[in-house]
Chain A
Amino acid sequence: MDGRVTLNQVAMRFGDFTAIQPTSLEIESGEFFSFLGPSGCGKTTLLNMISGFLTPSEGSVAIGGVDMTRVPVNRRPTAMIFQNLALFPLMSVYRNIEFGLEVRGIDRKQRRDKADELLDLVALSGSGDKPVAELSGGQKQRIAIARALAVEPRVLLLDEPLSALDLKLRQHMRTELKAIQRKTGITFIYITHDQGEALTMSDRVAVMCDGRIQQVADPMTLYRQPRTDFVAGFVGENNRFPGRVAAVDGGMVTLDAGLPAPLRGHADAASPLAPGDEATLYVRPEQWRVGSAGDSSLRFGGVVQAEHFEGAWLTLEIALDQGGTVRAHVPQALESAGIESQLAVGSPCRLDYSPRGALVLPGVERGRANEESVDVAATA
């Protein structure tokens, strides 16, 4: 069963508006693939082109190597799980799951066997005769999965199906979805704006912005080696230091960002830098070491502006002495306990990072309103 999905220069335009720039992408058979991006980035449009609800303005969509561009939605080997699940409220659980089989003319006995098998898979055996309205949120979720799997799709498309669930259930369903994907070996294509979902479940993630794929990579690479300013800011948090390249030494770059000490970080192998280039250094909040005002081993000084207790860590907003604000995480493990008593709001502190934990990308992106990253020099 070949569940490869190939997008070949697909583009989607609605009048003057380009929802999807020409995009090519190959999703492997049996892969858990996510499209991650803010709302309006075009991820749902891409999903609709794969499912057949939209015909691309340009380019082609192939599934398992067969061109599907003009194949209507009901003839495609895909099944979709909708954001609101779209279970049929007037039918029982059995009837919902069997709908796709009934359409295919499969007889009653086989339908029921298949439905029981799927109810088993989603751990809801015995609830086949219940009306859909009597199910809880998590149960509805599972029935939607069973209904989609019943038609034995080669590709399962999931449109933010977990967004309506509460946090605990959502985390639980992530594990289950991943387990079901492994068991069935079906290609899962998952749409989400929640990076936690994308990073925890996916084999690979495509980060999208303004109708363009910014980067396709496995979750760890995406976090450690973002390719673009958008990815660096959207996936996880980042502190930005725009400046000019002072020196390049193998994989390490020294950046002059108008701070008392030069900033060092490793460069992205795919985008080489030369001295004099404009570039931005990114430091993640967890890469900072924060110490008391007397700790002279830390190169930068600042004043704590605000602190947010987040359980496992404390997030500090620190105003650097040279201007600009940095967000830093202080882990709340027992060994570091006590340090936060010296880091009360208004007290001075010292901080530094390890160059191995910082990344330098070419270019200086200004004016992007991105609440998840802090642009240090722009406020300086």
Chain B
Amino acid sequence: MWRQLRNRFGLPLTMAIVSLMGIWLIVMVLLPQWQMIDYSFHPSLLPAERGGAKDVWSLTNYATFFHNEIHLAIFFKTIWSSVLVTALTLIVSYPLAYYLAKVATPGQAALCLLLLIVPFWINEILRTFAWYIIFAFRGPLNELLFALGLIDRPIRFLNGDTGVLVGMVYAYILFMVFPLYNAIESLDTNQIRAARDLGAGWGRTHRRIVIPHAKPGIATGCIMTFMLAAGSYAVPALLGSPGSRWFTQIIYNWFFEGGDWNQGAAYAFLLLVLCIVFVTAIMRIFKVGLGDIAK
């Protein structure tokens, strides 16, 4: 890569590009990350005690987590709910992406994409608030269901996980639709036609031809959606109930309410490890490499 860059831009410019990238990576990514890991292995101390006798490496912060049943439960619930969000988003996005890539005329596709993107010009918190209003006990959704005669008394959507799941699917749908769309779009339409021509129904055509081809796109979409869901704070904070707390909320509490940054760092590091494990697992399951995902 170094040689390619040098041939294209010449030595001085290449040095500049590479050192800027290096500085960005080190200062913006590696150092803060290292700082957090370092924090997580130290006890929370008063400024005066730092560097003193009590300032030693310890696993106490991690032990706290593994001994707290509620936090453990919330951690696993976050994993499970994020998987659920990812699966739901995939189910919703796949037909949409297929329609955009292979069925819609260019005009229809452009309109549809516009309709998908326009809401994202609004801040995530405001969009989430919109759902808060829709889901409210005396909100429009309940009114509508009531008017249609589907329910005879309002439902408390914001009580359980429903609100959080719907809100997250909505918040992250673009991160699933775009990789899927790109992957399906690159499939030769004659492949679909050939499968149909050989007698395959729509189900089998998707299972055997479209989905295997779109695998890297599915993997990318799932990874992005899962990471965004697992790391989400606004959606569970606004649409969740005390019973549907997210692990990020616990981290937030350690930092800003408990004032224990070291404890919070340990929890944040656990979330990071979880995400890395998930990405690796998905890559194994879908048999895709990092290169396929970066495409």
Contact = CB atoms under 8 A, between A and B. Distances in A.
Contacts of A148: 198
A53 B198 contact: no
Contacts, number: 55
B194 interface: yes
Of B199, B200, B201, most buried by chain A (CB within 10 Å of CB) is B199
Nearest to B199: A103
Given A74-B199, A90-B212, A84 B193 contact: no
B204 interface: yes
Interface string B184-209: 00001011011111111100100011
B197 A51 contact: yes
Given A53-B193, A103-B204, A86 B188 contact: yes
A162 interface: no
Given A86-B190, A90-B212, A79 B200 contact: no
Contact of B209 (A80, A88, A100): A88
Given A86-B188, A90-B213, A99-B208, A80 B194 contact: yes
A78 interface: yes
A104 interface: yes
Contacts of A99: 195, 198, 200, 208
Nearest to B193: A53
Nearest to A87: B194
Contacts of B188: 84, 86
Contacts of B195: 88, 99
Contacts of B193: 53, 73, 80, 82, 86
A74 B194 contact: no
A151 interface: yes
A191 B212 CA distance: 31
Contacts of B208: 88, 99
B207 to A, nearest CB: 11
Contact of B198 (A83, A84, A90, A103): A103
Interface residues of B, number: 17
A327 interface: no
B109 to A, nearest CB: 19
A147 B208 CA distance: 16
A82 B190 CA distance: 7
Interface in B14-61: none
B152 to A, nearest CB: 44
A143 to B, nearest CB: 12
Contact of B194 (A78, A82, A104): A82
Contact of B197 (A79, A90, A104): A79
Contacts of A74: 196-201
A53 B199 CA distance: 12
Interface in A80-132: 80, 82-84, 86-88, 90, 99-100, 103-104
Nearest to A72: B196
B201 A86 contact: no
Nearest to B213: A90
Contacts of B197: 51-53, 73-74, 78-80
A86 B199 contact: no
A100 B194 CA distance: 10
A87 B190 CA distance: 9
Contacts of B209: 88
9 contacts: A52-B197, A74-B196, A84-B188, A86-B188, A86-B191, A90-B212, A90-B213, A99-B195, A151-B198
Given A86-B194, A103-B199, 18 more contacts: A51-B197, A52-B197, A53-B193, A53-B197, A74-B196, A74-B200, A74-B201, A79-B197, A79-B198, A80-B194, A82-B193, A84-B188, A86-B191, A86-B193, A88-B209, A90-B213, A99-B208, A103-B200
Q: Which 5 A-B pairs have the closest CB atoms?
A: A86-B190, A100-B198, A86-B194, A103-B199, A80-B197
